[in-house]
Amino acid sequence: MPIDLTEALAAHPYPGRGVLRCRTADGAPLAAYFLTGRSPASRARALRFTPDGALTVVPTDVREHDDLRHYPAVRRGGGLVVYGNGEQVATVADRLDAGLSPVEALDGLDYEPDPPIFTPRLTVVADVRPDGPTWLGAARRSAAGRLGADRLFLRLGALSPGEGVLLTTYQGAPAAPATGAPYLEVATAYRDASDLLERLWSALPAEYRVAAAVFAPAAFPEVLLRHAAQ
């Protein structure tokens, strides 16, 4: 049996950024993206819509644009919805607009150039149809230290109500986070989208919370948002 989403997050005091694809107890096919931050610069961020229609991670102070901290988190592309933890969201969406398949669009990505952590790039391509497929992609650095990126692709099977799949950038303690597991199967038997957001938000470590979004891909750009006090 998969563990509850809240238990999965509580097991890792610093999950970093994460993506979730799931169905709640009411059967709604939903998606979620969240971000946490250890440094003041990482916490000085918010999710806002930009003129191009993307839900974007933007600075809340006067800080200049930082490619690793500020990026489109959710965007449409090729009739699908793409979400993830970096600038690759725009790359994948542009490739889908150009006619590439989801697997082709997810290929060729790299992990982040942020030693010594080398944060994975996590990307989800979600069909907007209720029973449409979902593709998960992760560009990760080898645990053995090889420089070449390992690119993992997962096409999800059908999700039943209360089932979900979670990817996080990190696992373990905040002082020395390790790369997260390739993916975790979790239970999301919550009442609806609002309940999912509340459970997700409450499971994130309060001192590191930045923002979280829950949305139905078919209804995007309609989203439910939570932010830490700025």
Helices (H), 4-101: 5-10, 40-43, 88-97
Count CB atoms within 10 A of the CB of residue 14: 22
pLDDT tens for 148-186 read 899 999 999 999 999 999 999 999 888 888 999 999 999
Whole-model pTM: value is 0.96
**What integer pLDDT is reported at residue 230 of this predicted model?**
55
SS3 218: helix
* Alpha-carbon span 23 to 29, nearest angstrom: 5
Q: What is the reported pLDDT for 91?
A: 98
* Contacts (Cβ under 8 Å, ≥6 apart) of 140: 111, 120, 149, 150, 151, 152, 179, 182
The separation between CA 39 and the C-alpha centre of its own chain, rounded to angstroms, equals 19
- Does residue 73 carry a pLDDT above 60? yes
- Number of structural domains in the chain: 1
Sheet containing 184-187, strands listed edge to edge, beginning at the edge strand earlier in sequence: 3-4, 184-187, 163-168, 17-23, 29-36, 209-215, 224-227
Domain CATH for 57 = 3.60.20.20
Q: In this predicted model, which residue has the larger pLDDT, 229 or 186?
A: 186
pLDDT at 197: 98
The rounded mean pLDDT for the chain is 95
85/73 Cα distance (integer angstroms): 6
What is the span of the domain harbouring residue 75?
Answer: 3-227
Does position 140 have pLDDT exceeding 70, yes or no? yes
> Over pLDDT 90: what percentage of the chain?
86
Q: Give CA separation, 202 vs 6, 77, 196, 207, 227, in Å.
A: 8, 31, 10, 11, 12
